[in-house]
C-alpha cells in the first residue's frame, strides 16, 4: 500500500462499524464510506475558523485601497489576522 503502518491503522480504526450478523450477534467490520465521512467531519472540525467582523473587513478594504501590502496591514496597522487570510 506504500503507506505508514500507523496511517493504515488509523484508517481501519476510523472506518469500523458494528454490523448485525445474526439475531443478537454483531461484529466489527470496515466501511470505506463511513471512514471517508468520519475523515471529512474530523477535517472540517480541525480547521480554525477565522471570524472577520464587518469592522475588520472595512478596515482591510480601506488599507487595500490605500495600496498597503497585507504584511504592512498586519504588522503596523492593527489588523490581527493571518496574512494568508488577506490574500485569500
What's the confidence (pLDDT) of residue 48? 73
From 2-6, 11-15, 37-41, 48-52, the region with the lowest mean pLDDT: 48-52
List the beta bridge partners of residue 25: 22
Rounded to whole angstroms, how far apart are CA atoms 52 and 20? 47
Task: Tally DSSP H helices, then E strands, for the chain.
Answer: 5, 2
User: pLDDT tens across 2-20, in order?
Assistant: 899 999 999 999 999 999 9
Of 75 and 88, the one with more pLDDT: 75
Amino acid at each position: 500500500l506504500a503507506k505508514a503502518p500507523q496511517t493504515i491503522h488509523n484508517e481501519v480504526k476510523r472506518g469500523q462499524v458494528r454490523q448485525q450478523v445474526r439475531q443478537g450477534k454483531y461484529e466489527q467490520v470496515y466501511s470505506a464510506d463511513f471512514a471517508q465521512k468520519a475523515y471529512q467531519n474530523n477535517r472540517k472540525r480541525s480547521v480554525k475558523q477565522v471570524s472577520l467582523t464587518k469592522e475588520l473587513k472595512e478596515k482591510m478594504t480601506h488599507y487595500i485601497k490605500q495600496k498597503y501590502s497585507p504584511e504592512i496591514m498586519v504588522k503596523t496597522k492593527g489588523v490581527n489576522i493571518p496574512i494568508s487570510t488577506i490574500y485569500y
